[in-house]
Amino acid sequence: MANTVYINGHFLRQQITGVQRYGREVIRGFDRGGYPYEVLKPQGMVTSGRIGGNLWQQLVLPARKDRDDLLWSPANSGPVFARNHIITLHDIAVFPHPEWFSSSYSLWKRTLIPQVAKRAKGILTVSEFSKNVICTHLDIPPDKVKAVYNGVDTSRFKPAAASTIQDIRLKYDLNTPYLLTLGSLDPRKNLKRTIEAWKRCREQEKMREFVLAIAGGSNANFSSLELNLSGDATRMLGYVDDKDLPALYSGAAGFLLPSLFEGFGLPVIEAMACGTPVITSNTTALDEISGDAALKVTPTDINSIKEAILELLDSPHLQTKLTELGLKRAQRFSWDRAAREIYHFLTI
């Protein structure tokens, strides 16, 4: 009889970003694969915010399972004192780059993560790049860490019908051709350079028919004023409903993710699956994940980003080529395969 995996379900109360999508999609993969699991969810106490959620994970969650039951925490945090515990660390950017985070967040994560990681039975992550960073900064032996690529749901993330794209453009007031960038407004997403590169592109008159649509949440460290936004060149969409993403990707002339640091870069694969040409960084996990199916830029070089945008928008042939390469590349990333490899690692 297969072993039951008990899953730390705290992430189910959080807004859906890449980390939360990972947990939800792997659980769906467990369902399709027939792998037994039980999600342990917070009940009867306040678990919102950093303090409430961490108290539940540290004090309540370990008591919700028998001593030797396997517990998996899929979303970057978990209990320090729990037997038979495996955690997924998507990235640990707070270690090489604490300056990107608030001092309180940095102190909290840099204190908690090493304790959880060292006491865990094993660690999952989402790229070879992230595995190397984890092993280096946390002094973890490589055989304790398993890299399993994320997947993409190609039944949902696929080229959208023209009518669906038109509806989304109306919903988000995108009445001109647009480029799309997606991510929380934190410094590592490199939005300041991306916006400056876009403004330089729009010095050319033919680029002025396009806008840069910026979709994502907010971050206290990075206000819209600091981004130096220009109304006719950019469009802030805010948090985008998850169900709207495929059409939003599909309608874009190109997708930009020139981040300074990514543990995986799930939006790159989602955009590729929707047939959207991608421009991304030649560093961190983005280079590894995108392969030869994207235009690569040096993320610290504004002119590198600018030239890639101009090259893409000036060349219908390149757009078609990247669309074809991206669709093919996206087929390599499967949530069913990820679920199978994760379950095997959890239960060996």
What number is the average pLDDT over the span 216-225?
Answer: 57
Percent of the chain clearing pLDDT 70 (strictly above): 91
pLDDT on residue 48: 46
Angstrom distance (rounded) from CA 101 to CA 188: 9
Q: What angle do CA 280, 174, 22 make, to 5 degrees?
A: 45
Structure confidence by residue, pLDDT tens digits, 66-108: 767 899 999 998 998 888 999 999 999 999 999 999 999 999 9
Q: Please, what are the domains in the chain?
A: 5-151+334-347 (3.40.50.2000), 162-330 (3.40.50.2000)
pLDDT on residue 217: 66
Q: What angle do CA 206, 211, 217 make, to 5 degrees?
A: 160
Angstrom distance (rounded) from CA 328 to CA 139: 37
Percent of the chain clearing pLDDT 90 (strictly above): 76
Q: Tokens in use for 332?
A: 């390599």
What number is the average pLDDT over the span 116-125?
Answer: 97
β-strand pairing of 254-257 with 278-281 = parallel
Q: Tokens in use for 118?
A: 């060292």
Structure confidence by residue, pLDDT tens digits, 46-76: 444 455 557 778 767 777 677 678 999 999 9
β-pair partners for 125: 147
Nearest to 199 by CA among 348, 303, 78, 57: 303
Which range among 56-65, 72-81, 206-215, 233-242 shows the weakest confidence by mean pLDDT?
Answer: 56-65
pLDDT on residue 45: 45
Nearest to 122 by CA among 285, 341, 347: 347
> Checking phi first, is residue 186 left (phi over 0); if not, alpha (psi -120 to 50) or beta?
beta
What number is the average pLDDT over the span 216-234?
Answer: 63
Instruction: Write the DSSP assignment of 200-248 as a string of letters.
Output: HHTTSGGGGG-EEEEES---TTS-TTTTT--TTTEEEEESPPGGGHHHH
pLDDT on residue 50: 52
What number is the average pLDDT over the span 202-230?
Answer: 76
Answer yes or no: is pLDDT of 340 > 80: yes
DSSP 261: -
Q: Output b/e per residue, 141-175; b: 16+ Cβ within 10 A.
A: eeebbbbbbbbbbbeebbbbeeeebeebbeebebe
Answer yes or no: is pLDDT of 225 > 60: no
Which range among 113-117, 216-220, 235-239 shows the weakest confidence by mean pLDDT?
Answer: 216-220
End-to-end CA gap in the chain: 13
Q: Tokens in use for 23?
A: 């947990």
Q: In what order do the strands lie in the sheet with 70-73?
A: 37-40, 5-8, 70-73, 85-88, 122-125, 145-147
Task: Find out whether 278 and 295 touch, Cβ atoms under 8 Å.
Answer: yes
Structure confidence by residue, pLDDT tens digits, 297-320: 999 999 999 999 999 999 999 999
β-pair partners for 166: none
* 44 compared with 96, residue with greater pLDDT: 96
Helix/strand/coil for 73: strand
Q: What is the mean pLDDT of the chain?
A: 91
Answer yes or no: is pLDDT of 229 > 90: no
Nearest to 176 by CA among 230, 233, 255: 233
Angstrom distance (rounded) from CA 307 to CA 304: 5
β-pair partners for 280: 257, 296
Angstrom distance (rounded) from CA 143 to CA 121: 11
Task: Find out whether 258 and 214 touch, Cβ atoms under 8 Å.
Answer: no
